[in-house]
Every structure is written in structure tokens, then in C-alpha cells.
A and B are shown apart, each in its own frame.
Chain A
Amino acid sequence: MTATAPRITPELVAEHGLKPDEYARFLELIGREPTITELGIVSAMWNEHCSYKSSRLHLKGLPTSAPWVIQGPGENAGVIDIGDGDAIAFKMESHNHPSYIEPYQGATTGVGGILRDVFTMGARPIAALNALRFGSPDHPKTRHLVSGVVAGIGGYGNSFGVPTVGGSVGFHTRYDGNILVNAMAVGLAKTDGIFYAAAAGVGNPIVYLGSKTGRDGIHGATMASAEFDANSDEKRPTVQVGDPFAEKLLLEACLELMQTDSVIAIQDMGAAGLTCSAVEMGAKGNLGVELILDNVPCREEGMSAYEMMLSESQERMLMVLKPEKREEAEAIFRKWGLDFAVVGYTTDTLRFVVKHHGETVADLPIKELGDEAPLYDRPHISNAFQPTIDPASVAAPVDNATALARLLATPDMCSKRWVWEQYDHLILGNTVQKPGGDAAIVRIEDGPKGVALTTDVTPRYCEADPVQGGRQAVAEAWRNITAVGGLPLAITDNLNFGNPEKPDVMGQFVGCLKGIGEACLALDFPVVSGNVSLYNETQGRSILPTPTIGGVGLLDDVTLHATVALRQAGDVLAVIGDTTGWIGQSVYLRDICGREEGAPPPVDLAVERRNGDFVRGLIRSGKVTTVHDCSDGGLAVAVAEMAMAGDIGVSFDTLPADIPAHAFLFGEDQARYVIAADAATIDAVAAEAKAAGVPFRKLGVAGGDAVNIPGETPAKVADLRNGHDNWLPNYMAGEIDHP
């Protein structure tokens, strides 16, 4: 092999993120010293991002099957059957570290990557969502990061032409040096038109599609798995730049090509680009792969084999093609102005061979690159037990109307309109429920079916009790889908945690996964895809554990759905589900009392299911069309949001005597929904609830222009809305993003 190649020193190995024992394992596997290209390849394949070495063991425990699951985890995206020959492909992925370094481009390439995962499966993207976490609003970088990330998500999705219909945004000082950008994409396919990554057949051409290869993000995947230090601002890696225009062309070209029966296998080039995609296609198909790098379309002169194998240039795909279809396929890509190059072929050797300038620069056993990747059962300890807080022990520092107004205008609870107005959420003309409701609803073509989509997680619960927090994240996604009338079908998860080499962080991971698994099982809501992002840490301080859940549900008839807005004066409001005044870990306790503590609300999955099935029945039978799930901020916030959305006031009935008023109003008991309908309907619902053993309680009546809490000064809806709508625009005023 190459004589001029650098020597493989222990320093070089360490720079590639391989631990000495991992390198020793690799040496043993290949029986000789690797070339620099081989070292690059193994470092990419064996890093956390590709190998899931810290998480694999625990992911195995997740429920992944159901009769409607067509493809579970292990492909570019999960796929579920929604009837009539239609399928939904979806996945969520993080782009946390790159977005901290360059928020606009980090976010664009995150969105681009996840869209590619979905259309690689043969699905046309019909919706995008995201989940964002930023540091404290007071942190000097936060504004800039919010501005750049939001502009980047919009910049890519808007140009690509997918409606961004939902998501979540939160702030916490624990994300100060390490923001989270999780992007989800949802696509529509035919059940008989789904494409997979496993190569088949010996001697078939491997085709490179899309944009050219540059020196973008070399070692991006390694970066995403290395703990941040205070110098990361200085690192200035080669930032990947997103090109939504190229991606749109790639989408149209791929979907057109998929109609021609020429594609044997297809895989996008994501993290670790050509390396990961080629190895995965071969390994999944039990085949070897030979690549000839001289044929790779390059954007820059003199790129080395090492650089080509590790480049993370965006908007690229790899495909195994039926040889007789080559001309037809090439013509399609040329028409769309994209590169098309045969860069190798499948072999029966089970080796991954890479050639450049007539030399073999890598020759590795292909299966072992994946199968023999390190697997760790990292030590984990469960977190310190947090005591349950007795609501009677927490005095209300202000009256409840004041607390309500304040909570609605906090960074976490305020309206996120400023964000989603920068996203085209209406394109494609099927957005039945736009951002701002519980779950988004996107109609499937001309209907009557539709999908309900949401992303959820409550990191402070996960930190206080990982198992309950994991359950709650899944339950809340399930509840949001239910609250619009959808039948929850499956989830994708994006597990954002700190450094897994620390036993307490690993304990959070293991605990959350346990809770997620339990909830998925109990709610028939399997995991079909996901992504793990570890080492989210700055200067030794980890983020809050944040396992984002992306949920997908089905509406058989989108005309039968519910929205949060109150409809008319005289409608009666009621809560389905039990209220105990659970105050521990509530936003009330945190933002009004200044105490971030206590055990989070427990999630009883059987109750969750019973209450949700009941509410969904009310919506599907057309009885109730006003529903809002009850989460952060409890009943008072849910009711106020319904009032603001409908521009109608609400008068609360006399509050129960056995629970402190503020705990009743702001406690965060789970499995609850607030509904509203005319008095006769509510009475009928009360009777039905009683018969079904579902807790029901009347809350008050709609009317007037204020939220009235007995014995307190009325809070004008207009004033509440003012505070709620303006916090974010005011905070962001003056910031201009300048990508």
C-alpha cells in the first residue's frame, strides 16, 4: 500500500477517537497495521454515532413491532401501514453539535439529512417537525442561536417544499453550551413501493447520486460524539452547508427513478458519508463492496481517499442499480442536473475494498466493521430519589390569576408563533391543524384520512425520575395525538443525553429507556425508528436528559377532529382524568415559586389508555370538537390557552375544597384532557364517563372576555394573550440573522 502514507501512531489513533483497546481489537481483526484510510473508516464506523456502542444493548429492549409496522428500526426510516395501500415513513434525528457551532447551517443540514432518510425509503415528504432546546434566555449566545436555528430550519424546509407543522421549543440553562436541534420528517409511500438499503446480487453497479463531494464536515460524525470543551468555539471544523435546492432535485429524481424498477437498494449518505452508506448496503445484503474513488464526483481538487471516504457533503445518495437500467437512470439524473457516477460494484467477497489511483487503499472485512463494533455495558446508577412534595406544604406566593398571567409569558410557556411563522406550514394544501394545537393534522392527499403528528418530552421530569420521565414523554405524545382525534400508531425517538461514560448519565439513559419501553408496550405505540445523541455536555456539565418522542397517529376521517379553541359562550368545560394537585416538578413550582424540585407526576399507563380511549371516542363520534390535553401548567394554563385560541373568557366553578387552589389549577397530574361542549352534551359525556369509570369533573363555563377564578380579579383574555404572544418577539427583537 502507499509508501508515503503517515505512520499510524498512538496519537493519530487517539485523534480518531479510538480507545487503545478498540484499536487493539481492530488490529486483531485485520491482522496488520491499517492504512490511514482504513483508520478513518474504522473510526467512523466505530464511533458512537454509527455504532451505537453505548446504547445498542439498551435499545434492544424497546418494543418495535405491531401488526401495522412494516419496517421497524434498522433502516433509514421506520414505516407503518395506514391502510388502503398507503404507508407512512418517518424518523427523527439530531444535529446538536453542528448547530451550536453554526446555527443556521447546522439546522439546515439537520433538516436535509432527515428528509433524505425519508425519501430514500420511497416516501414523498409530507410534513416536518422539530424539537429545539436552547440555553437560558440570559445566556449571551442564546438569541443568536435561536435566530439562526429557526431561520435554518425554515430556510431548508421552505425551499425544499415540505410544510413544517409542529415541534417544541424550550429554554434551560443546562443547554447553555449545548443546544438541541432534533428534526423529524414524515413521508407518504405506497406499501408496495418501499425501498431498502440492503444490496443484492453480485457485480451490480453502485451508483453515486446528487451533489459533488467536498471537504465538508470531515470527521463531523466523530465531532458529534466527542464531548465539547470550552475551546469548541475555536475548533472551527469545516462546516457543512445545506443546499435545499439540490435536495429538492434529488427528491424528484429519486422518486422518478423509483418508478422505473431500476433500484435494487438505496441509502442516503449521512454521517460518515460514503463509508457508512457503502458498508451498510453491503453488510445488510451479505455482500462485499468495491469502490473506485477515481469516479467519485469531487468539488475540490486533489481530494485524498481518506477525505472522500469521510466527507459529509450533503445531498448525496448511494444506490445499487439493475445493470440493464443504467442509461435510463442516468438520463433521469441528468435531466434534474445532478451527478450520476458508477463508483463501484457489489462482490461476493464480503470485503470492503477501496481503490484510488490504481492502488488499494482499504481492504477490510465488511460485516465485522458493523458486527464487531465495540459494544459497551457501561456502568449506570439510578439517580437520587426525589421526595414527593405535599401540595399543602407549598404556599402560593401570588394570587392565581397573577400566576397564570406570569406563567403564560415565560420562555417555555409563551406562544411559539414567532418561530412557526418562519416555517411554511401550509404548503401542499393539506395542513388541517397547523402549529399551535396539540398535534398537527396533515390530510393524506384528498382525504378523508389524515395523520396526527407531534414531538414531546419533559426533560425536567426525566432528570427527576428517568423512568417516569421516559413514560411521560411517550404518554404525552400519545395524548396529543388522541386530543385531536388520532389513533396513535408508532413513534420515533431521539435520545439526547450527556456523557455515557458517567454512571449517573448512563443511569438516566437506562431509566428513560425503561420508561419509554413500558409506555410503548402499554399504549401499543411501538418504536419504529430513532437516533441517539450522547456526549451532550459542556465543561463537564451535561444537558437535561431529553429523550424526544415523535409520534404519528391516524385519523380515518379528518373532518372528525378536535381543536383547542373554545367555540361559543355558554359551552361548558370539563376535565377528563383525575386531579390531585401534583405540584412536584411543575412549571408553577419552578417559575412562580423558584423551586425546581420534587418527584414528577407518576404516569399510570392503564389510566392513560383508558382516559385517552374515552376522549378519542368522543371526538370520533362527533360529540366533542373542543379538546386540549393538559400538560405543563396544568388545568389553568390549558383552559387559558383554549380561551385565548377562541377569544372567549371562562368562569371557573367553585374550586374543590380538598386541594389547595393553586395546586388544583397548576398541578401537573397526567392523563388529563380538558373538553368543552354545550351543556347538554357535557351532561351526556358525564354520564358516559361515569359508566366507563373515567374521572370527570366540570370546570366552568365559557363566556365574557376574561378568565375568572373565584374570588380573584378577572384576567382579561386580551391581556393574557398580550403577554403570551409577545414574550418571544420582544426577546428576539433586534436580532437579525445573517447567514
Chain B
Amino acid sequence: MKAAVVTFPGSNRERDIARALKHASGVAPAMVWHAETDLPAGTDLVVLPGGFSYGDYLRCGAIAARSNIMAAVQAHAARGGLVLGVCNGFQILCEAQLLPGVLMRNDRLRFMCKRQNLRVERTDTAFTHRYAQGQVIDVCIAHGEGNWTADADAVARIEDKGLVAFRYCDANGVVSPETNCNGSVNSIAGIYSEKRNVLGMMPHPENLIDALVGGTDGRGLFESLASRMAA
């Protein structure tokens, strides 16, 4: 798999995601500085990592969404190339309008770092085919602004077209207000673009790839990507 991880000033989980990609595919991804205008030739997957790009000042992801490299990421996505945005990466994708909606401050107004169950909503995508339909995975969240919201039309479109990737849930896969850790509309933790080649998600699968460090439920995502690329 040829993966590229874009690093912005203030990114801070780029090493974590690079490690997860390498673990799954055996190949270290290219690290691409935001000021570049092109992705490395032959890039299959672009990853926008977690962190606090530009300090999350103004709005999270806003300044990074306007950096040089994002034009190349847009073009890559338009060609059907795979794009994954995790946490700050998701925020950047929304600000860049590669995904609809916006991530507002958590409803409890606090940064929250904790384990959280997610329900995998579909498994026919490049990102999730290694999971089982409806599988409940245990990953972690670490964000202050993960409260996804969009106007009613956009929400309806996302739901109708089955573009919800993950929802916050309990250990049995039940979605309820109690398991909605940040106030997101319909407990949405991650969404796809219309062609399902772009995924944005708040939780951090890259920090759950190791039995010794909390568990391995994040691996499925990277293994899905790695096998798809290898094919």
C-alpha cells in the first residue's frame, strides 16, 4: 500500500497513525509536509492525522484546511483515491468541505479522553471490510470538539445513503443518549463521502493496535486498508 500521512504544524498523532499503517501493511507511509503542493506519485491513501493543527485556533481544522497540500488531497479524492481523516483530520475534512457538517465543542464542554464503544455501520467499504456488520469495537476518543452536526438536509442525506461509518454505542451495540459521548447528531462518530472513498472519524483506531496498550480493535481498519491496497 502506498500511504501518505500529511503533517501540519501542530499535528501530533502522525507518528501513531504511521505506526498503525506500518504495522498493518509492513510499509512505512510517506510523511508529507503541509506546504507541499503534490502528493508522492502513486499514493493510494492519504491520511490526515490527529492533533491540534495550528493550535485549533479560530476553528479546529480551519487553517489546515486551507494549506497548500489540501488542493492535492481534494484532487486525489475527486479521482476516487482513499482519504482518511482521524480526529483533527476529520475536522479538517469538514472544513475543506470534503465531508459535510462541522465538529462543534463537546456538549459537556470538556476535552474527553476515554475508551468508547463504536458500532461499525457497514462493512462494504475499503476502510471496514475486515470488521463484521454491526460489530462493536472498543477504541478511544480524545477530543474537545467532536460534536458533529449538520443541517437537517445534510443529516437526512447521510442517513438515507448509508454514509454513517460508526456510531457511539454501548458494549452491546445499543445507541442511546447515554452512550453519545459528545452530543453528535444521531451519535455519529464517523462519516463517508458519497463515493465512500473519504472517511472522517473522531475516535482513534491508531491507538488500539496493541494488546499491551489497551487492545487491538483498531487494527481492523488498517488491515482493511492494507489488504485493499495490496489487491
The answer to whether A and B touch directly, with their CB atoms under 8 angstroms apart, is yes
Query: B208-223 toward A: CB 8 Å interface, digit per residue (1/0)?
Result: 0110111000000000
Does B170 lie at the interface of the complex (its beta carbon under 8 Å from any beta carbon of A)? no
Whether the pair A159, B10 counts as a contact (CB closer than 8 A) is yes
Whether the pair A427, B13 counts as a contact (CB closer than 8 A) is yes
Query: A424-467 toward B: CB 8 Å interface, digit per residue (1/0)?
Result: 11111111101000000001000100000000000000000000
Further contacts, 10 of them, CB under 8 A, given A161-B13, A427-B207: A158-B111, A244-B55, A245-B57, A420-B113, A421-B112, A424-B113, A425-B113, A426-B213, A429-B20, A737-B109
Give the residues in chain B near A151, CB-CB below 8 Å. Answer: 110-111
* 18 contacting pairs across A/B (C-beta < 8 A): A154-B111, A161-B51, A244-B52, A245-B55, A248-B9, A248-B10, A421-B112, A421-B113, A424-B142, A426-B213, A427-B16, A429-B20, A429-B207, A429-B209, A432-B213, A443-B213, A447-B212, A736-B109
Closest residue on chain A to residue B20 by CB atoms:
A429
Closest residue on chain A to residue B109 by CB atoms:
A736
Does A155 lie at the interface of the complex (its beta carbon under 8 Å from any beta carbon of B)? yes
Cα distance A155–B16 in the bound complex, in angstroms: 20
- 8 Å CB contacts to B: which residues of A154-187? 154-155, 158-161
Does A559 lie at the interface of the complex (its beta carbon under 8 Å from any beta carbon of B)? yes
Give the 10 A-B CB pairs with smallest separation, nearest first. A161-B12, A245-B55, A159-B52, A424-B142, A424-B113, A429-B16, A426-B207, A429-B207, A245-B10, A422-B111
Whether the pair A421, B114 counts as a contact (CB closer than 8 A) is yes
Of listed A161, A243, A248, A432, residue having the most chain B CB within 10 A? A161
Does A306 lie at the interface of the complex (its beta carbon under 8 Å from any beta carbon of B)? no
| Minimum C-beta distance from B112 to chain A (A) | 6
- 8 Å CB contacts to B: which residues of A361-377? none
| Minimum C-beta distance from B178 to chain A (A) | 14
Cα distance A421–B106 in the bound complex, in angstroms: 13
Whether the pair A429, B55 counts as a contact (CB closer than 8 A) is no
Does B204 lie at the interface of the complex (its beta carbon under 8 Å from any beta carbon of A)? yes
Interface size classification for chain A: 35 or more
Whether the pair A249, B140 counts as a contact (CB closer than 8 A) is no
Give the residues in chain A near B55, CB-CB below 8 Å. Answer: 159, 243-246
Cα distance A286–B13 in the bound complex, in angstroms: 42
| Minimum C-beta distance from A734 to chain B (A) | 11
Does A336 lie at the interface of the complex (its beta carbon under 8 Å from any beta carbon of B)? yes
Query: B148-169 toward A: CB 8 Å interface, digit per residue (1/0)?
Result: 0000000000000000000000
Query: B182-206 toward A: CB 8 Å interface, digit per residue (1/0)?
Result: 0000000000000000000000101
Give the residues in chain B near A161, CB-CB below 8 Å. Answer: 12-13, 51-52
Does A525 lie at the interface of the complex (its beta carbon under 8 Å from any beta carbon of B)? no
| Minimum C-beta distance from A156 to chain B (A) | 10
Give the residues in chain B near A427, CB-CB below 8 Å. Answer: 12-13, 16, 50, 142, 207
Cross-chain contact of B213 among A245, A249, A429 (Cβ < 8 A)? A429
Query: A180-202 toward B: CB 8 Å interface, digit per residue (1/0)?
Result: 00000000000000000000000
Query: A130-166 toward B: CB 8 Å interface, digit per residue (1/0)?
Result: 0000000000000000000001001100111100000
| Minimum C-beta distance from A108 to chain B (A) | 12
Whether the pair A245, B212 counts as a contact (CB closer than 8 A) is no
